[in-house]
């Protein structure tokens, strides 16, 4: 247990630039190749709905449960006032959520704590698991958590570092694509119950403006994450 705790609290050696860039390229493949994206997008949904749930709890709403579906959609249900700043904050959290989680991971990695980042993710997944209310969502979180646990427990330091960077790049790069998909679905008459459209009904601000906010936040997180990764000088 002492060795285990030391592995979490001790900084690991800085990874090579080749590893950092290589994991970013792999993340791009996972996002850009459509057959892979259909599977890996579930990770984005987990982060998206997790962000809704986290903010709902922080603003004092009662979280009723989270559902994750096989088509990579999801829904987070919370009880409280249907309008007002709290509800707006919950709706705002979803699309920027994966990028903000990725940025937080990039910050932790920039300090050398790859193992701590993975175990922190495991704790977050365990908390999320308690709120899942359907079988497919349960299966999705358990499978993803098992993967993270396996690498955290049995992986070598180099494997742990590579996986942590891969996951970080994936969240940072996938978040802008999810925003593009949102606008694409809206353009063709779908997604009218999306976060952006619900924000329009609550605030009167056009949904396209909210999509733009989502896009700016996710791209800003990506830019800062690139700097923190050491690929570009900060």
pLDDT tens per residue across span 165-176:
999 999 999 999
Write down the pLDDT at residue 8: 82
Q: What pLDDT, on the 0 to 100 scale, is given for residue 192?
A: 73
What is the number of other CB atoms lying within 10 angstroms of the CB of residue 73?
13
Phi, psi values for residue 17, rounded to 5°: -60, -30
Taking only the tens place, the pLDDT of each residue in 90-130 is: 999 999 999 999 999 999 999 999 999 999 999 999 999 99
Please name every residue paired with 77 in a beta bridge, in sequence order, or none if there are none: 65
Per DSSP, 16 falls in state: P
Among residues 89, 97, 94, 93, the alpha carbon closest in space to that of 202 is found at 89
Where the chain has pLDDT below 70, the residues are 1, 190-191, 231-234
Mutual angle of helices 34-58 and 157-187, in 10-degree steps: 90
Do residues 196 and 211 make contact, with C-beta atoms less than 8 angstroms apart? Answer: yes
State the pLDDT at residue 191: 65
Q: Is residue 103 exposed (0-12), middle (13-18) or buried (19+ Cβ within 10 Å)?
A: buried
Burial 199-214 (b: 16+ CB within 10 A, else e): bbeeeeeebeebbebb
Is the Cβ–Cβ distance between 59 and 89 less than 8 Å? Answer: yes
- pLDDT at position 7 is 77
Cβ proximity of 27 and 173 under 8 Å: yes
pTM: 0.94
Q: Which residue has the tokens 């009880």?
A: 79
Listed residue (155, 139, 144) closest to 122, CA to CA: 144
pLDDT at 186: 87
């Amino acid at each position: 247990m002492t060795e285990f705790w030391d592995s979490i609290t001790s900084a690991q050696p800085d990874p090579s630039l080749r590893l950092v860039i290589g994991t970013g390229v792999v993340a791009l493949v996972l996002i850009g190749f459509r057959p892979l994206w259909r599977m890996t997008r579930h990770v984005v949904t987990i982060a998206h709905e997790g962000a809704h749930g986290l903010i709902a709890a922080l603003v004092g709403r009662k979280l009723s449960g989270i559902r994750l579906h096989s088509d990579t959609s999801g829904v987070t249900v919370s009880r409280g006032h249907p309008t007002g700043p709290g509800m707006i904050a919950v709706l705002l959290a979803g699309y920027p959520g994966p990028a903000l989680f990725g940025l937080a991971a990039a910050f932790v990695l920039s300090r050398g704590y790859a193992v701590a980042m993975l175990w922190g993710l495991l704790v977050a997944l365990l908390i999320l698991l308690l709120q899942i209310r359907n079988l497919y969502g349960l299966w999705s979180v358990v499978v993803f958590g098992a993967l993270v646990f396996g690498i955290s427990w049995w992986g070598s330091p180099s494997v742990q570092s590579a996986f942590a960077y891969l996951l970080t790049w994936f969240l940072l790069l996938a978040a802008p694509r999810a925003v593009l998909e949102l606008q694409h679905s809206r353009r063709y008459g779908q997604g009218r119950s999306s976060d952006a459209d619900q924000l329009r009904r609550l605030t009167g601000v056009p949904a396209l403006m909210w999509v733009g906010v989502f896009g700016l936040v996710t791209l800003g997180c990506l830019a800062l994450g690139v700097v923190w990764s050491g690929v570009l000088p900060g």
